[in-house]
Amino acid sequence: MKRSDDEKRKQKELIRAMVSLAPVMQRGTLVRNYRRCGNPNCRCARGQKHGPHYYLSTRRGGKTKMDYTPRILMNQMKKELGNYRKFKQLLRELLELNYQTFLEERSELKERKKDVR
């Protein structure tokens, strides 16, 4: 069974949306962190830590990597992380569409084999 026009249209829409997100997406999590500087006379030595500081947390080569993210890049980074989540959702939808097509094709093949017997 070939894909219906609706299925083909939906597949093309999903792929088009994924391609548009690809150049402006980032995988990872934005982490807020407060730190101590180590100076015994600083306010952080009495409990009031410096921060917040933001880091992009990603897995690279099986290890977690934390990269400092300047505040000026925060809005851009949030957008890119959101685009990655959207991309993953679109990919799940595309894979589900492909799986449903596979099930329909398999079912049709079984029916054709029954008709031959």
Q: Quick one: how far is CA 95 from the chain centroid?
A: 15
**Could you tell me which of 83, 67, 65 has the C-alpha nearest to residue 75?**
83
Q: What is the DSSP letter of 3?
A: P
- Count of CB atoms within 10 A of residue 55's CB? 16
- Structural domain containing residue 16: 5-116
> Could you give phi then psi for residue 85, rounded to 5 degrees?
-65, -40
Instruction: Spell out the per-residue pLDDT of the chain, length 117, in tens.
Output: 466 788 889 999 999 999 999 899 999 999 999 999 999 999 999 989 999 999 999 999 999 999 999 999 999 999 999 999 999 999 999 999 999 989 988 988 888 777 766
To the question of pTM greater than 0.75 for the whole model, the response is yes
- What's the pLDDT score for residue 2? 62
> What is the number of structural domains in the chain?
1
